[in-house]
Every structure is written in C-alpha cells, then in structure tokens.
C-alpha cells in the first residue's frame, strides 16, 4: 500500500532539519525551497517529506560553505527540470572544488595545531624551558595566512 504524504508544520520541519522557524521563512522568501510551500486555513505553512529532504540538502550545502545565491541558482535549475543537468553538474563541481580546497587548508591548519600540541606536551614532560613562543617553533612547511 502506498505511503500517504503527511503534512508537517513549520515547527516539525524546524525540529527535523535543525533550522529555525525564522530560517525556514527566510529560505521561503529567498526562493531556496524547491517546491512552493503549501498553505492551509489561516495561512499556516505545510510541508512534506520531499521538502524536508530538500532542506537537509540545503543544510549540507550551507554547512559546506555554499553561498545562498548559489543554492538559489541550484534550486532554480532543479525547478526548471530536465535539461538543466549540465548546469547543475557544473555548479556542484565548482562547489566541490571549493570544498576540497577548504579541506586542504584545514588539514594544513590541523597539522600545525597537532605539531604545536606535541611541542607543548613535550615541554610539559621535560619541565619548564626559557621560552614557549608560537612562531619560533613552527614546522618548516607551516603556512601563514
């Protein structure tokens, strides 16, 4: 038997996606939702499982640093339907490259922090030294931003 789509309130969607009610309304105004929000009596918003899944995707895209205009552009392409796959792929590939660059930079940062943790652990094991400055004990490959 096919599953009947359940209407979800804005509060339920907020709880399930981790977004605030304010953010859900903002996303609606900004054109971030793939489907128009349905309204019930008195103007109450109603969502369904597809809306929740779309919002989960948007949460991941935002968490990965995709700007709202790019998410809006992706949303517009999805709304246009078949025939926009090349544009969607290009947009996602650009973002993928951005995320890979972010990960690389964060990995270098983590390497430096890990090195410094080791310096301080060694220092504490060996007893006090004259100076525990930051820059003088950086590894050779440390980058400064």
Q: Measured between alpha carbons, how far is 29 from 23 in angstroms, rounded to an integer? A: 10
State pLDDT tens for residues 10-46: 999 999 999 999 999 999 999 999 999 999 888 899 9
Read off the pTM: 0.77
Q: Which are the contacts of 108, defined by CB distance < 8 A and separation ≥ 6?
A: 142, 143
Residue 92: in which H helix or E strand, if any? Answer: helix 85-126
State pLDDT tens for residues 69-113: 999 999 999 999 999 999 999 999 999 999 999 999 999 999 999
Angle among Cα 55, 102, 135 to the nearest 5 degrees reads 140
Domain extents in the chain: 1-81, 93-145
Looking at domain 1-81, does it have CATH number 1.10.1660.10? yes
Q: Measured between alpha carbons, how far is 125 from 145 in angstroms, rounded to an integer? A: 31
Angle among Cα 73, 84, 75 to the nearest 5 degrees reads 30
């Amino acid at each position: 038997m096919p599953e009947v789509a359940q209407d979800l309130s804005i509060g339920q969607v907020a709880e399930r996606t981790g977004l605030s009610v304010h953010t859900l309304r903002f996303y609606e105004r900004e054109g971030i939702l793939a489907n128009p929000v349905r309204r019930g009596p008195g103007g109450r918003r109603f969502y369904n499982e597809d809306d929740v899944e779309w919002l989960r995707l948007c949460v991941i895209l935002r968490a990965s640093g995709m700007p709202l205009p790019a998410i809006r552009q992706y949303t517009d392409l999805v709304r246009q339907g078949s025939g926009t796959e090349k544009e969607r792929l290009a947009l996602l590939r650009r973002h993928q490259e951005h995320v890979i660059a972010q990960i690389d930079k964060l990995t270098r940062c983590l390497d430096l922090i890990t090195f410094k943790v080791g310096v301080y652990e060694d220092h504490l094991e060996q007893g006090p030294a004259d100076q525990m400055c930051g820059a003088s004990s950086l590894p050779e490959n440390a980058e400064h931003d």
